[in-house]
Structure 1
């Protein structure tokens, strides 16, 4: 119950924050950016804005109080006991002032559009988005009959995610450490997992704690892209198609897959029986580009929701400048050196948006970078550039403060790297890669650029900024993580693809209607098939099943906290991780891609498991702050080292054991010696 109250308070506090920070936001859905009337329900903008604002503020406050109370028995108890009543009080005072005392929330400010036909269309769209989000989240992560089922398309990413969640709900991970590289700093954006952990701590079962905010975030992202599309195009069909193109990616993969089927093979049967993600670009078999990303990176939808909201509020400045250029013709001085091109219209908006975007850094850092890239290009030809500068400075200051608090050393190590993960990292190799990856989307956007207005063309260039960044800069050792920048660009560019199709349909000529239909099919068929693959993989293939009441999970919960480090085989996800165990060296890819020195720890793992004497073993254990040593089947068959299990048993007391023979799992407590170590 408390977990539900927490989420409701997020909406309530978000409403109060937006009431003070963005007082004119209710009227933002009345007109397009070029000042034309539109039918658009305010709730499609307001509810996501309230949610992200409330989550960011409440979750950070709970974390900070928890950190200050880290030396107590239950930091989250203290943090929630302080922040939740304060949140309720803040909402109550704001409601009293705005609604009762000043009566500023009158009946004219309805959450729904006055046009009944528009309400029906929006309801159908929103219902479809909610259904899609629910299917994706619940099909990949759910509890049934006291067992947690994790889909095969998400279990890899969920390994560190669940470890982080349980490190808060079961442990005391303050100061925060990475669950698959325990004992050091935290380089990975973890705050969404902290929120989920806190929701579980407050009583929500883990699947509800993870799925409910994930679905809300997913719906928020789609709602905001719909609002942005209507603000730019003024057409409901463009908004709907923007959501469709958001959900179902454009790619040649479907057609390439069919073309490579052997002669005589039944195409429909092959498509139905296939359970692998299709595509011939590197890592496309991971499901890197389709809806599965929002299943295994639940924090991504939340991050881009904040990004879309910030863009929605800043883009009007660009339109005002282009309107000035249209009226007075191009004037270099007036565009770049006039007072109105720099002065801020409102100090409130840029400060609030800077706080919002800056506090997102450890929820999803890539969304922050992607947003700043787009804002930078937009600012060049916008009025009120100081507002952009204020927002950017606040964002950078908050990001730097967070990075220095959580990360030892540099947060990122940017370097020039052309070509992303294209096999041939040349200009033509990259063009070939994008052609195979994105299908006809580039051609559609080029057509939209050619026939569009100057403001549309400039927005297309701005929306391309994250994609260009992905192909030229690497921030981490694993450039593959740049795929999120490409996805952000494709989602935003999809608005103009939708607008082009919309304009073709408006011509009411058969040839244009057929062409529009062909474009829609070619831009979505791969994504639609990817969606069916997500469902097939998670229904037909074996899931990871974890016992909610497993003795090993309970042992970890009862006998350790987040300061106790477990030395194990390179685990991904199992009952020990599910208990909140902090691993000295989990599966290396997670920590390596986050920037940790996994090679060094591989060496230490080898030395400890191969140690020949109790003294050698105990010295290594103390130097690396190991609390528990786990010996199981994976250790016994490891090709990386020769396990000296006898030495471990002779040195430390075995405090947990299950199984038999080579499948036996034994946990040794390094604080309890079996022998005197000289």
Structure 2
């Protein structure tokens, strides 16, 4: 119950903050960006805004207080006691103040019945989608935890991180698959889940509930953004549809390669793997599976959409003024040279272009975005890229500068707190993961990856007015960044920037397609229907594959009451480092054990020196004498040594089990023969 209370307080705290910082937030759904009336229910922007604002505030407060009380046996007890009490009192106080001021009440639902029915369909559809994705990939039945086969890889560090907080005292924070050093991975969403489990929510509820709320919130805000740009609810629905189901040629390529005489429906029904025509596409890198295994991504997208919604009026205001200036010049028959000078002066040399009219909003958005850095760092970078392009041709540019300055400063401070050294190592790298990193090779890659989306966007670019053309350019900025810059050793992680661009650009794809349905011509409506089919077919089929792959029969099943998991929980702390084989997800990880080095891909992609540790693991397991072993164990801070079948059959080293047995006392043992698992405590010598 306390965990549910904490989630509810996320909303009430967010409401309290937004009441002071964004008092007119609900009113944003009354007009589009051209000041035309629209019918959108305020709850579609209010609930997501309250959620992300309150969650960021409460989660950071809880974590930082946990750091303060890290020397206590249960730091989260004291941290949550203070945060929950302050959050409750703050929410009540805000309510009483607002009630005393007799402020006008804001309706939660719109008055237009047609729009309300559309929103009901959207809400129901997104809720069902979120439920299916989250609860088919991670759920508990009885005493068993089921982890979907398409997510278990990413969930190894996620579950380890969650349990390091709910079962342990991971302050200062270590990475569960590379214990003993700093934390380079954005982990705060996992901390949120771990704290919810600590507060009494069952593990699957603790992870799935905030994941579902984040996923639904992202769709709600994308719908609001699309309607405010287009003025039409149909565009909002299509934008959400394109968000859920990606555009790609992959399905059609797959079908074209089936042998002659193959029954297409049988082939599609029997296939259990993600179809692929580009590198790593078979990981489920581009489809809804991403939101299953990277639960924090939807949270980051929600913040991005909210920030863009709040700052787009500045862009539209400048273009509106530019249109008026152009009209005035046309009436005066000004020459081309004078027109250019007047345009340049209006764009960059007027007070409206630079002055700050709302310090409060700018500071609040900067803090909001900066607080996101260790929830999802790529979302911060992607948002700043879009804002940078928007700012060039927006009024009140200094407000953008305030946002960027605060966000970057907070990101740097968090990096200094968590990371030794630099968080990123930027370098120019053209081509992303395209097989042929030439202009034509990249063009071929984009064509295969995105299907007809680029073609639809080219049409949109031709049809849109100046502000629309420029906004398409701004939304393309993360995609351009992904194909030219690498920030980590694993450039594949840039796929999130491409996804951010595709989701935002999907608004203009939706707007273009919707124009076909507004035409009376049956032919154009048919073309629109075909376009929707081509834009979503691969994504829809990917969704069916997600469900098939993650059936309970295929799941990784862990026992919540397994003796090894319980032993780790009851006898070790988050400062105890385990020397193990290169585990992914197993009963030891479920217990919250901190591994010297788990599966190396996870820490390697986060920027850790896995090659150096692999050599040290080899030296410790192969140590020839007790003295050599003790020296290595002491140097590397190892508390427990695990020997199991994986060690004994490893091709990377030959474990000297006799030497370990002769040096340290065995404190846990299960199984027999080659399957025997033994844990040796390096604090207990023979």
Superposition TM-score tier, normalisation by shorter sequence: over 0.9
2:145 is aligned with 1:133: no
Residue 280 of structure 1: CA displacement? 1.0
Residue 145 of structure 1: CA displacement? 1.4
| Corresponding residue for residue 666 of structure 1 | 678
2:108 is aligned with 1:111: yes
**TM-score, scaled relative to structure 1:** 0.99
| Corresponding residue for residue 3 of structure 1 | 3
| Corresponding residue for residue 173 of structure 1 | 170
| Corresponding residue for residue 581 of structure 1 | 593
Match of 1:628, SS state, is strand
User: Superposed, which structure 2 residues align to 1:624-663 within 5 Å?
Assistant: 624-663=636-675
CA contact (8 A) 1:251 1:437 kept: yes
| Corresponding residue for residue 331 of structure 2 | none
Match of 2:437, SS state, is coil
2:186 is aligned with 1:203: no
CA contact (8 A) 1:152 1:541 kept: no
Residue 422 of structure 1: CA displacement? 0.1
In structure 2, what is the Cα distance between the partners aligned to 1:216 and 1:114? 25
2:241 is aligned with 1:244: yes
Residue 124 of structure 1: CA displacement? 1.1
| Corresponding residue for residue 31 of structure 1 | 31
User: Superposed, which structure 2 residues align to 1:112-511 within 5 Å?
Assistant: 112-329=109-326, 331-511=343-523
In structure 2, what is the Cα distance between the partners aligned to 1:156 and 1:551? 23
CA contact (8 A) 1:139 1:151 kept: yes
In structure 1, what is the Cα distance between the partners aligned to 2:683 and 2:650? 26
5+ long unaligned stretches in structure 2:
327-341
Match of 2:445, SS state, is helix
- CA-to-partner distance for each residue in 1:291-325, whole Å, 9 max, x for gaps? 00000000000011001100100011000000000
Match of 1:508, SS state, is coil
In structure 2, what is the Cα distance between the partners aligned to 1:61 and 1:407? 19
Match of 1:545, SS state, is strand
Residue 248 of structure 1: CA displacement? 0.1
CA contact (8 A) 1:141 1:151 kept: yes
Q: 1:560 aligns with which of 563, 568, 572?
A: 572
In structure 1, what is the Cα distance between the partners aligned to 2:136 and 2:224? 28
In structure 1, what is the Cα distance between the partners aligned to 2:65 and 2:38? 44
In structure 2, what is the Cα distance between the partners aligned to 1:540 and 1:658? 27
In structure 2, what is the Cα distance between the partners aligned to 1:240 and 1:342? 35
Match of 2:631, SS state, is helix
Match of 1:331, SS state, is helix
CA contact (8 A) 1:567 1:584 kept: yes
In structure 1, what is the Cα distance between the partners aligned to 2:618 and 2:502? 45
- CA-to-partner distance for each residue in 1:593-628, whole Å, 9 max, x for gaps? 000000000000000000010010010000000000
- CA-to-partner distance for each residue in 1:180-224, whole Å, 9 max, x for gaps? 000000000000000000000000000000000000000000000
CA contact (8 A) 2:472 2:505 kept: yes
Residue 242 of structure 1: CA displacement? 0.2
- CA-to-partner distance for each residue in 1:143-188, whole Å, 9 max, x for gaps? 0011000000000000000000000000100000101000000000
Residue 114 of structure 1: CA displacement? 1.1
User: Superposed, which structure 2 residues align to 1:515-554 within 5 Å?
Assistant: 515-539=527-551, 542-554=554-566
Residue 25 of structure 1: CA displacement? 1.0
CA contact (8 A) 1:147 1:548 kept: yes
In structure 1, what is the Cα distance between the partners aligned to 2:310 and 2:111? 23
In structure 2, what is the Cα distance between the partners aligned to 1:627 and 1:312? 51
In structure 2, what is the Cα distance between the partners aligned to 1:322 and 1:119? 32
| Corresponding residue for residue 79 of structure 1 | 79
- CA-to-partner distance for each residue in 1:344-402, whole Å, 9 max, x for gaps? 12111110000000000000000000000000000000000010000000000000000
**TM-score, scaled relative to structure 2:** 0.97
Match of 2:196, SS state, is helix
Residue 541 of structure 1: CA displacement? 5.4
| Corresponding residue for residue 338 of structure 2 | none
| Corresponding residue for residue 92 of structure 2 | 92
In structure 2, what is the Cα distance between the partners aligned to 1:134 and 1:663? 38
Match of 1:657, SS state, is strand
5+ long unaligned stretches in structure 1:
none
Match of 1:340, SS state, is helix
- CA-to-partner distance for each residue in 1:237-293, whole Å, 9 max, x for gaps? 100000000000000000000000000110000000001101210000000000000
- CA-to-partner distance for each residue in 1:494-527, whole Å, 9 max, x for gaps? 0000000111111121110000000000000000
In structure 2, what is the Cα distance between the partners aligned to 1:264 and 1:121? 43
Residue 333 of structure 1: CA displacement? 1.1
CA contact (8 A) 1:412 1:476 kept: yes
After the TM superposition, list the runs of 4 or more consecutive aligned residues in structure 1 that deviate by more than 4 angstroms.
none
CA contact (8 A) 2:146 2:552 kept: no
In structure 2, what is the Cα distance between the partners aligned to 1:556 and 1:103? 55
CA contact (8 A) 1:250 1:438 kept: yes
Residue 540 of structure 1: CA displacement? 6.9
CA contact (8 A) 1:44 1:224 kept: yes
| Corresponding residue for residue 102 of structure 1 | 101
Stretch of structure 1 that moved more, 111-120 or 174-183? 111-120
How many residues are paired up?
Answer: 671
In structure 2, what is the Cα distance between the partners aligned to 1:278 and 1:443? 23
CA contact (8 A) 2:148 2:552 kept: no
In structure 2, what is the Cα distance between the partners aligned to 1:234 and 1:289? 29
- CA-to-partner distance for each residue in 1:625-651, whole Å, 9 max, x for gaps? 000000000000000001100000000
